Amino acid sequence: MASYKIFVFTIPASGHVNPLLPVLREIRKNDNIEITVYLTEEFRSKFESIGVKFKILKNFDFVKKADLKPFGKSRYFELFDLVTWSLKAISINFEYIAQEMDQERPDLIIYDTFGIYIKWAMEYYVQKSRKLIYNWPLPPMIGFAATFIYNENIYPNQIEKSLIFPYNFRFFYDLIRIFFVSIRISLSYGIVFINPLNHLKMKVDSHTKIIMSVTFPELHPRSHLYDMS
């Protein structure tokens, strides 16, 4: 029996799954570590092929619902759609993830830093734990960046942001839409409101101890400004 358990939460998209696979394969070389990934059925074979346990989150294919077009002109609109759909998708799975946490008792959580939903799921679990419904303490978390690490003080800077976001009516409309969804979920499930935009800054917080990137330092924008320790 494994003496150390890791839960992994990522985004149901190949661009986020594929960079994660070699990392988990390396971890699995230690026979004392058990890894369980929670995602959609289409990615089961990829994870099971490297010896990782796989469990399904229901109605969780929020990437397809957002209808992303990688080379479209309105990418930030699609990003906002992605955030909105991910919050709706995770709320359906709050209780299932909480039960899994309490029963399986993981020692570590690895989550995709673009997977804003996991912070909400963990906040739900913390609230349930405070009510003594669940007893296993929330384990430390590691953020996994499949591309670049985004930090408002390093990358992108204000000029780069202005090139990405037009700050027009549609932009502010979508911001309001995200916040309404966030507030509704917070009130419905009795969890503390989490600012979705603050989360996207990828800051290390009280639960997230490290944020790691698989991008070579030579390819990462302004990598010399990040803490490599």
Token duo for residue 73: 């002109």
Top mean pLDDT of 12-16, 32-36, 151-155, 164-168 is at 32-36
Share of the chain above pLDDT 70, in %: 69
Residues 94, 193: Cα–Cα separation, whole Å? 15
Range of lowest pLDDT (24-28, 145-149, 185-189, 199-203): 199-203
What is the value of pTM for the model shown?
A: 0.81
Identify the domain containing residue 50 by its residue range: 4-225
Q: Which residues touch 109 (CB under 8 Å, ≥6 apart)?
A: 6, 7, 8, 9, 118, 122, 139, 140, 141, 142
DSSP state of 165: -
Q: Which residues touch 139 (CB under 8 Å, ≥6 apart)?
A: 106, 107, 108, 109
Residue 73's pLDDT is what? 47
Average pLDDT over residues 88-97: 89
Residues 61, 58: Cα–Cα separation, whole Å? 8
Three-state secondary structure call for residue 2: coil
DSSP state of 140: P
Token duo for residue 180: 């309404």
Token duo for residue 15: 């661009």
| CATH code of residue 160 | 3.40.50.2000
Which residues make beta-bridge pairs with 170? none
Residue 85's pLDDT is what? 74
Summarised one tens digit per residue, pLDDT across range 39-82 is: 999 999 999 999 999 999 988 877 666 565 554 545 555 666 77
Is-contact 122 141, C-beta < 8 A? yes
Q: Which residue has the higher pLDDT, 204 or 31?
A: 31
Is-contact 125 116, C-beta < 8 A? no
Number of domains in the chain: 1
The count of residues in the chain is: 229
Residue 33's pLDDT is what? 95
Average pLDDT over residues 13-19: 88
Summarised one tens digit per residue, pLDDT across range 180-216 is: 888 888 888 888 777 766 655 555 566 777 777 776 5
Average pLDDT over the chain reads 79
47-71 burial, b at 16+ Cβ within 10 Å, e below that, comes to beeeebbbeebeebbbbebbeeeee
Burial class (CB in 10 A: 0-12, 13-18, 19+), 128: buried
Summarised one tens digit per residue, pLDDT across range 106-130 is: 999 999 887 778 888 988 999 899 8
Q: Which residue has the higher pLDDT, 31 or 1?
A: 31
